[in-house]
Amino acid sequence: MTFLVPRGNAPKDTLAAAQNIARYPWYHNEQLFALLYDFYPIADGKTMRSVPFMPYLNLPPSAWVLPLKFDGGGYRAGGKAMFDSQGNLWVGDNFTVGWQAQDSLWQGNATKFNPNGKPLSPMTTGFAGGGMQGGAFGAAIDGNDNAWLTSYDGKSIAVFDKDGKPLTPLEGINFGGKLGLMQGVIVTPSGDVWVVGVEKNQLVYFPKGDLAKAELVCEGASGEPCKSFRSPFHLGIDQQDRIWVTNAAADHVVRFPASDPTKVATFATGYSGAGLGIDSKGNVWVTNRFGSSWRGFAKLLELGIVLKTGGNIDERLSRIMSGQTGGADGGSLTLLRPDGSPYPGSPFIDGGLPGPWAVVVDGNDNVWVSDFAGAQSPIVELCGVRTRPARPGSRPGNKYHPLTATLAVVCRCRLIWQSVLPAMSG
C-alpha cells in the first residue's frame, strides 16, 4: 500500500489509508482503483461484481475526491466568485432561475453563500438592483466586505454591501451610458478599485473605492493604456504596484504602474488571454484560451470575422472552446517573470488544458486552472515557481493532478468554489 503516499511511511491501518487518499487524491489513482479487481472480482458465470454498494465505477477517476454541490439563493450559471473576510462566497450570476438562457442576454443577479454553503441571498432572485444584470468575470471584495461586481449586459458596475443592499444607483455606475460590456475588477491592497471593459477597451478607476470619485480613465484609442488594450478581460496587481491586464482579442498582456497608467509595457503571451494570477514572487500566470500556436491565431481571426460581421462573439467563442481537446488542440498557460520575460518552459501545454479560463495561485504558490471546453473540462493543479520541497519529480508548470469537470460546486461552471462563465462574458 506504499502507493497511497508520495513520501514517508505506508499507512498502518484502514483509517490512515483513507486519510492519505483524502490528502493525496491525485497520487497513483489507477493503482488504487485496481484494488476493486482484487477485492471484488467478477465470479465465473457473472457479469457484475458483488459489491456492498451500487453502482460502482468502471473506470478510474482522475482524482479521488468527494465533491459537494451547493445551490439556492438565486444562483444560476455563476460567473467570477470571491470570498469576503468572513469566508462567505459572493458570485455574479449569468442568469436568474427560470430564465430561458441564451448568450443574447445575460440578466442574472448576485448570490451569496455562507462558509458552509448555505445561501444567504433571496431564493430565486438573489440580490438584485444596483445595475446588476448578468454577472461576468468581475468580482472583488473591498475592505468593508462590499461586493464589487461587473454587470455584463447591464454595461455597468454594481456594488452591494455585506447584507446585499445595493450601494450603486438602479442603473449602476455607467458614466451616463458610456460603458460597454464590462469584465474584470480588482481591489488593490491600498483600497483602490480598477475595472476593465471588454467591449470598448475601457479602464475605470475608483480611488480608495470611493463611488463618488469614479473615473473613466480612458477608452478605445483615447490614450494609454487603453490604446494597447485588445478586449481587456482581467487584471491583477503585483508587489511593485503594477497592474497587469489580459486581452481576449490579442496575444499579449499590458502592464502599467498604478501611479501612472500612461506608462505602458506589453509582453507576449498566447492567443485570447483570459485569467491572470500573480504569485508571491511577482511571477505572472496567464491562461490563453486558444493556445500559443498558429492554430490559436486562426481561431482568433475567426472571432474577429464574427465580430466584424455583427455575429454573436460570445456564442462563437463558446462553440470553439467546446470543441478543443487539449494538447496541440487546446489552450496554454504562459508564465512571465516580474520583468515580463518568459519563464523557461513557458508556455505550458497539456491535455489538462483544453480551454483554460481562470487561474489562481494558492498559499504554496501552486497554480490552479479551470477549463471551459465542454463536458470534459478539468480543474488542474500545477507546480509553482517557489523553491521548496515539492512532490516527486515536480517542476514549475508540471501538472499535479486534474479534477474532472463533474466535481462541480455549481451546475454550469464546473469549478470548485471559483466559477467561470462561458464565452467572452466571463
Instruction: Tell whether 375 and 386 lie within a shared domain.
Output: yes
Mean per-residue pLDDT for 86-101?
A: 92
Strands 156-160 and 147-151: antiparallel
Mean per-residue pLDDT for 107-130?
A: 96
Instruction: Tell whether 282 and 208 lie within a shared domain.
Output: no
Tell which residue, 290, 285, 278, 200, has the closest CA to residue 251.
290
Taking the C-alpha atoms of residue 316 and residue 188, their distance in angstroms, rounded to an integer, is 33
Residue 117: per-residue pLDDT: 95
Residue 53: per-residue pLDDT: 93
CB 162 within 8 A of CB 133: no
Tens of pLDDT, residue by residue over 26-61, are 788 888 899 999 999 999 999 999 999 999 999 998
Position 2 confidence tier, pLDDT thresholds 50, 70, 90: low
pLDDT-wise least confident of 7-16, 68-77, 93-102, 331-340 = 7-16
Instruction: Tell whether 131 and 31 lie within a shared domain.
Output: no
Phi then psi for residue 34, to 5 deg, are -65, -20
Whether residue 392 has pLDDT greater than 60: no
Position 276 confidence tier, pLDDT thresholds 50, 70, 90: very high
Please tell me which residue, 2 or 233, carries the higher pLDDT value.
233
Tens of pLDDT, residue by residue over 313-358, are 888 888 898 889 888 889 999 999 999 999 999 999 988 899 999 9
Whether residue 267 has pLDDT greater than 90: yes
Mean per-residue pLDDT for 233-258?
A: 97
Contacts of 96 (CB under 8 A, 6+ apart): 74, 76, 107, 108, 109, 124, 125, 126
Residue 411: per-residue pLDDT: 19
Helix (H, G, I), strand (E, B) or coil at 352: coil
Final residue of a structural domain among 215, 238, 268: 268
Mean per-residue pLDDT for 293-308?
A: 92
Whether residue 214 has pLDDT greater than 80: yes
Q: DSSP letter at 166?
A: B
Instruction: Tell whether 326 and 364 lie within a shared domain.
Output: yes
Taking the C-alpha atoms of residue 254 and residue 234, their distance in angstroms, rounded to an integer, is 11
Whether residue 412 has pLDDT greater than 70: no
Mean per-residue pLDDT for 109-137?
A: 96
Cell of 300: 482568433
Beta bridge partners, 321, equal: none
Helix (H, G, I), strand (E, B) or coil at 22: helix
Position 389 confidence tier, pLDDT thresholds 50, 70, 90: very low
CA dihedral (133, 331, 257, 185) in degrees, to 10, reads 20
Q: Which domain holds residue 46?
A: 1-66
Whether residue 388 has pLDDT greater than 90: no
Instruction: Tell whether 104 and 248 lie within a shared domain.
Output: yes
Residue 1: per-residue pLDDT: 56
Position 153 confidence tier, pLDDT thresholds 50, 70, 90: very high
Whether residue 418 has pLDDT greater than 70: no
**Which pairs with CB-CB distance under 8 Å and at least 24 residues apart come from 307-313?**
312/103, 312/104, 313/423, 313/424
Residue 407: per-residue pLDDT: 24
Instruction: Tell whether 280 and 404 lie within a shared domain.
Output: yes
Instruction: Tell whether 282 and 213 lie within a shared domain.
Output: no
Tell which residue, 252, 231, 376, has the closest CA to residue 304.
231
**Percentage of residues in the chain with pLDDT exceeding 90?**
67
Tell which residue, 356, 348, 353, 358, has the closest CA to residue 395.
348
Whether residue 409 has pLDDT greater than 90: no
Whether residue 421 has pLDDT greater than 50: no
pLDDT-wise least confident of 62-71, 126-135, 174-183 = 62-71
Q: What is the mean pLDDT of the chain?
A: 88
Tell which residue, 185, 188, 187, 182, has the closest CA to residue 202.
182
Residue with cell 488593490: 188
Query: What CATH number has the domain bearing residue 227?
Result: 2.120.10.30
Taking the C-alpha atoms of residue 275 and residue 291, their distance in angstroms, rounded to an integer, is 13
Instruction: Tell whether 233 and 286 lie within a shared domain.
Output: no
Taking the C-alpha atoms of residue 287 and residue 70, their distance in angstroms, rounded to an integer, is 27
Whether residue 67 has pLDDT greater than 90: no
Position 398 confidence tier, pLDDT thresholds 50, 70, 90: low
Instruction: Tell whether 288 and 253 lie within a shared domain.
Output: no
Taking the C-alpha atoms of residue 321 and residue 369, their distance in angstroms, rounded to an integer, is 15
Domain count along the chain: 3
Final residue of a structural domain among 227, 250, 268: 268
Query: Angle formed by the axes of helices 313-322 and 294-308, to 10°?
Result: 150
Instruction: Tell whether 412 and 289 lie within a shared domain.
Output: yes
Instruction: Tell whether 207 and 185 lie within a shared domain.
Output: yes
Instruction: Tell whether 195 and 310 lie within a shared domain.
Output: no
Final residue of a structural domain among 268, 303, 330: 268
